[in-house]
């Protein structure tokens, strides 16, 4: 019996017991998706209790609370997803609750539905922006994988999973294409950044063109797409209880191909994933090459989701073992070296350099003089965050919203780290939230540094777009992180801010300025993920039981459980 096997069985079997109690439909007795306990836990957050301010995390809840919450959760689940419920235009979430729907909600649903894209009569996604006033369409008329995630969550919450299923299957087909940039063949598992449906009204045919980076500005690689695809597959499974999709040979193969890409061996000395600049939501040069936090957090979350969904068959088994090993190393590395709080900053400030051998404290040879001035003021006494990037002699101290929120949702952040991130957001509200949630990165880079880092990018001038701009889409991630850490009041404050502007400003893509007060210089209007992000935030706060589809409980596998299992052989 090797040690790893024990851990794998512990990790997977620890989640198996939940099957009977979830109330999930279509859960067969041999189901192999083992993370249903996450679902249970999400259901523990029954509405009335959560809307009362609460500072405690899930883990602190007492057992009696758990059992009450659980039975209520099942009721909620059944009423929300009863089979045969007709799909109406009215969002069920507001109809189901006692909350008075905000007038913006109906407008948002209408706008979201307008952005739907069909392929041969079936909805398969939503376009990035429905902005007719904009002269330049560029690729905003395409379905972006990352942009579709909040749309998908909105549809799932509203009991409309078919479009999500169609999207997952369509993008899976695209993954199967041969992908080339000029004469260079891309990895088999690469998922597209975006795709477009072309309708031929004469021949009455629909065709698809996909972009894997070969048409994208700067030919950037969509490293995040595959991770979002896996995360969305789990969200679909969790929300519908339909395990059959993830279990199809096609989906299993799709996951394995993505895993093969990101787990391949190379020259790496770190478990983090080495990336080129512009490989994620920030899809142009912004100095995020190396080991950007956004990708590391998504990588971690995708590994955990894949671990839960991969079958332990002949082909899946090897991947499961590799995933487990990588998760151990990755969580250790991230929690130790990417984490920055007052104490850690003080330690780095006093680092010795040029240390050789295993006893080195300053492992990456960070030169204290490279610590930017701003971070000393920015760092509150209470609070912390995962920094933007860590590599030899290079720490990017900038704050990035997406990576930190995903770190909370995936439980890459320990419960203490998750609380500290929320403390930081509260302590630095003006800087990170200001008048429009949420800053994509902080602070902006300016002057000479801007020239060097962005290559003089006129779109990424200081406090604009990716360079310290404010992106309403991030509201859903912030809200989910708030719910998970038991701080819904923070989300409420942020949503209130968004509600005072978003509709009036026609759902811009981003806002500019130190406080996010101005509609972005080149921001598209009716940007779909701004619309969907608002809806998801709103619906999750109203009914926090939806958190489970996008959140993973603390990874017990990081503390190996020695447990006897059916496959125990020695």
Stretch that binds ligand GLC, among 142-150, 409-417, 448-456, 546-554 (CB under 6 A): 142-150
Stretch that binds ligand GLC, among 44-52, 88-96, 144-152, 444-452 (CB under 6 A): 144-152
Cα–Cα distance, 221 to 369 (Å, whole number) = 33
State the DSSP code for 528: H
Q: How many CA atoms lie within 13 A of 454 on its CB side?
A: 23
Residue nearest to ligand GLC (CB): 128
Using CB under 6 A, pick the residue from 283, 341, 431, 457 that binds ligand GLC.
Answer: 283
Nearer to ligand GLC, 488 or 516 (CB): 516
Nearer to ligand GLC, 38 or 147 (CB): 147
Cα–chain center distance at 133: 30
Distances from the Cα of 426 to the Cα of 103, 373, 485, angstroms: 28, 21, 13
Q: Least CB distance from residue 536 to ligand GLC, whole Å?
A: 16
Three-state DSSP class for 481? Answer: helix
Q: Least CB distance from residue 144 to ligand GLC, whole Å?
A: 4
Stretch that binds ligand GLC, among 4-12, 99-107, 141-149, 350-358 (CB under 6 A): 141-149
Q: Least CB distance from residue 416 to ligand GLC, whole Å?
A: 31
Using CB under 6 A, pick the residue from 15, 111, 281, 432 that binds ligand GLC.
Answer: 281
CA torsion through residues 461, 466, 468, 469, sign: positive
Using CB under 6 A, pick the residue from 8, 112, 128, 537 that binds ligand GLC.
Answer: 128
For residues 166 and 123, the answer to whether their CB atoms sit within 8 Å is yes
Torsion of CA 57, 61, 66, 68, to 10 degrees: -100
Within a 10 A sphere around the Cβ of 242, how many other Cβ atoms? 17
Nearer to ligand GLC, 410 or 527 (CB): 527
Nearer to ligand GLC, 146 or 326 (CB): 146
CB under 8 Å to 362, separation ≥6 — which residues?
A: 348, 351, 352, 353, 355
Three-state DSSP class for 118? Answer: strand
For residues 143 and 126, the answer to whether their CB atoms sit within 8 Å is yes
Q: Least CB distance from residue 448 to ligand GLC, whole Å?
A: 24
Q: Give the residue ranges of DSSP H helices in 241-341.
A: 244-247, 249-262, 293-309, 314-333
Token duo for residue 5? 């096997």
Nearer to ligand GLC, 40 or 283 (CB): 283
Q: Least CB distance from residue 447 to ligand GLC, whole Å?
A: 23
Nearer to ligand GLC, 142 or 389 (CB): 142
Cα–Cα distance, 488 to 94 (Å, whole number) = 18
Binding residue count for ligand GLC, defined by CB under 6 A: 6
- Print the binding letters for residues 85-104 with ligand GLC: x by CB under 6 A, - otherwise: --------------------
Cα–Cα distance, 171 to 165 (Å, whole number) = 10
Residue reference for tokens 């909620």:
76
- Print the binding letters for residues 151-170 with ligand GLC: x by CB under 6 A, - otherwise: --------------------
Give the phi and the psi of residue 505 in degrees, each rounded to 5: -90, 10
Q: Least CB distance from residue 507 to ligand GLC, whole Å?
A: 12
Cα–chain center distance at 448: 32
Q: Least CB distance from residue 543 to ligand GLC, whole Å?
A: 27
Residue 313, class by beta-carbon neighbours within 10 Å (0-12 exposed, 13-18 middle, 19+ buried)? exposed
Stretch that binds ligand GLC, among 139-147, 151-159, 347-355, 491-499 (CB under 6 A): 139-147
147 binds ligand GLC (CB under 6 A): yes
Token duo for residue 313? 């068959």
Within a 10 A sphere around the Cβ of 123, how many other Cβ atoms? 17
211 binds ligand GLC (CB under 6 A): no
Q: Least CB distance from residue 112 to ligand GLC, whole Å?
A: 14
Q: Least CB distance from residue 172 to ligand GLC, whole Å?
A: 19
Using CB under 6 A, pick the residue from 43, 146, 326, 439 that binds ligand GLC.
Answer: 146
224 binds ligand GLC (CB under 6 A): no
Nearer to ligand GLC, 40 or 147 (CB): 147
Q: Least CB distance from residue 203 to ligand GLC, whole Å?
A: 29
Using CB under 6 A, pick the residue from 144, 227, 386, 442 that binds ligand GLC.
Answer: 144
Nearer to ligand GLC, 389 or 527 (CB): 527
Within a 10 A sphere around the Cβ of 428, how many other Cβ atoms? 19
Nearer to ligand GLC, 237 or 467 (CB): 467
- Print the binding letters for residues 284-323 with ligand GLC: x by CB under 6 A, - otherwise: ----------------------------------------
Residue reference for tokens 């939806």:
546
Within a 10 A sphere around the Cβ of 197, how many other Cβ atoms? 19
The closest of 482, 492, 416 to 60, measured between CA atoms, is: 416
The closest of 19, 459, 407 to 217, measured between CA atoms, is: 459
For residues 13 and 560, the answer to whether their CB atoms sit within 8 Å is no
Would you tell me which residues interact with ligand GLC (CB under 6 A)? 128, 144, 146-147, 281, 283
């Amino acid at each position: 019996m090797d040690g790893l096997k024990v851990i794998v069985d512990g990790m997977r079997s620890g989640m198996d017991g939940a099957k009977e109690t979830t109330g999930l439909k279509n859960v067969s007795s041999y189901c192999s998706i083992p993370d249903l306990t996450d679902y249970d836990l999400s259901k523990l957050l029954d509405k009335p209790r959560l809307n009362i301010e609460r500072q405690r995390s899930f883990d602190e809840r007492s057992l009696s609370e758990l059992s009450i919450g659980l039975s209520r959760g099942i009721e909620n689940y059944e009423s929300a997803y009863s089979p045969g419920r007709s799909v109406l235009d009215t969002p069920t979430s507001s109809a189901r609750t006692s909350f008075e729907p905000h007038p913006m909600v109906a407008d948002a649903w209408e706008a979201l539905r307008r952005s739907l894209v069909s392929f041969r009569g079936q909805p398969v996604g939503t376009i990035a922006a429905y902005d007719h006033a904009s002269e330049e369409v560029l690729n905003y008329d395409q379905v972006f994988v990352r942009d579709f995630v909040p749309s998908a969550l909105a549809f799932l919450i509203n009991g409309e999973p078919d479009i999500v299923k169609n999207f997952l299957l369509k993008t899976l087909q695209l993954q199967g294409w041969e992908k080339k940039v000029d004469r260079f063949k891309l990895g088999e598992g690469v998922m597209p950044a975006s795709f477009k449906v072309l309708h031929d009204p004469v021949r009455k045919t629909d065709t698809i063109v996909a972009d894997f980076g070969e048409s994208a500005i700067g030919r950037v690689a969509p490293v995040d797409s595959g991770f979002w695809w896996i995360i969305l597959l789990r969200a679909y499974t969790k929300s519908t209880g339909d395990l059959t999709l993830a279990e199809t040979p096609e989906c299993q193969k799709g996951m394995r191909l993505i895993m093969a890409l990101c787990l391949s061996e190379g020259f790496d000395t770190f478990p983090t994933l080495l990336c080129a600049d512009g490989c994620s939501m920030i899809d142009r040069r912004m100095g995020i090459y190396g080991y950007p936090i956004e990708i590391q957090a998504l990588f971690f979350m995708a590994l955990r989701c894949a671990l839960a969904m991969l079958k332990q068959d002949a082909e899946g088994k090897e991947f499961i073992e590799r995933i487990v090993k990588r998760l151990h190393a990755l969580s250790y590395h991230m929690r130790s070296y990417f984490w920055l709080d007052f104490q850690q900053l003080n330690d780095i400030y006093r680092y010795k350099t040029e240390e050789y051998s295993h006893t080195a404290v300053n492992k990456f040879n960070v030169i204290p003089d490279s610590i930017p001035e701003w971070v000393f003021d920015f760092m509150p006494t209470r609070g912390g965050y995962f920094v933007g990037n860590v590599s030899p002699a290079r720490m990017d101290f900038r704050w990035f919203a997406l990576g930190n929120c995903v770190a909370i949702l995936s439980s890459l952040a320990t419960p203490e780290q998750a609380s500290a991130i929320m403390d930081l957001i509260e302590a630095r509200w003006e800087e990170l939230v200001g008048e429009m949630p949420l800053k994509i990165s902080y602070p902006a880079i300016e002057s000479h540094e801007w020239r060097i880092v962005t290559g003089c990018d006129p779109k990424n001038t200081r406090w604009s777009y990716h360079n310290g701009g404010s992106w309403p889409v991030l509201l859903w991630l912030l809200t989910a992180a708030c719910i998970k850490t038991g701080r819904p009041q923070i989300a409420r404050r942020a949503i209130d801010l968004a509600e005072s502007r978003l509709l009036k400003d026609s759902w811009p893509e981003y806002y500019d300025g130190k406080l996010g007060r101005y509609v972005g210089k080149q921001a598209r209007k009716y940007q779909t993920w701004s619309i969907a992000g608002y809806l998801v935030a709103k619906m999750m706060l109203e009914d926090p039981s939806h958190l489970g589809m996008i959140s993973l409980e603390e990874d017990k596998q990081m503390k190996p459980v020695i447990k006897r299992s059916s496959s125990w052989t020695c």
